[in-house]
Amino acid sequence: MKNIVLTGFMGTGKSTVGKELARRLGMTLIELDSEIEKAEGMTIREIFSQYGEEYFRQKETEAIKRLSGERGLVISTGGGVVLREENMDILRRDGVVICLWAEPETVLERTSDTRERPLLDVEDPLERIRKLLEYRRPFYEQADHFIKTDGKTPVQIAEEIIELTGED
């Protein structure tokens, strides 16, 4: 069984949908950010603060390479994983890539309850979300499938993914 890789901006539902998919399909859920936190012994926020985004992106690529070749995984990636072509080549080789998408206002609503989002720790987070989404959209659109998550439950999104991938 090929992996199912969930990409998309923060707050689009990757973690929640990933849990539902893994449960329904009997697959193993891998939260890429959690894998990096375990390997580094610090939170994503601490990694960004201490070493910067480029260091984090390198650790992200290393984690993807470690997972390379494994099967039967639902991989929930961080929102910026798509920025490196190498990441996407590896993920695509081992699985089907699904991009979850939400409008900026939905992202803000879903992420406003936490301060663990270093990229949104700015004066105007909604404007930052808009700019990041605009920049990243062409990268996200390279996924095999593109699913809008606004107004949908994780169960509905998981069902849509199962239909698209032919898994069950």
The domain that holds 8 is classified in CATH as 3.40.50.300
Domain count, the chain: 1
Residues 6+ apart with CB under 8 A from 47: 36, 37, 40, 55, 56, 59
Expressed as residue numbers, the domain containing 72 is 3-165
Question: DSSP character for 81?
Answer: G
Tens digit of each residue's pLDDT (9 = 90 or more) over 70-80: 999 999 998 88
Global pTM? 0.91
Query: Measured between alpha carbons, how far apart are the two ends of the chain, in Å?
Result: 10
Tens digit of each residue's pLDDT (9 = 90 or more) over 40-52: 999 988 999 999 9
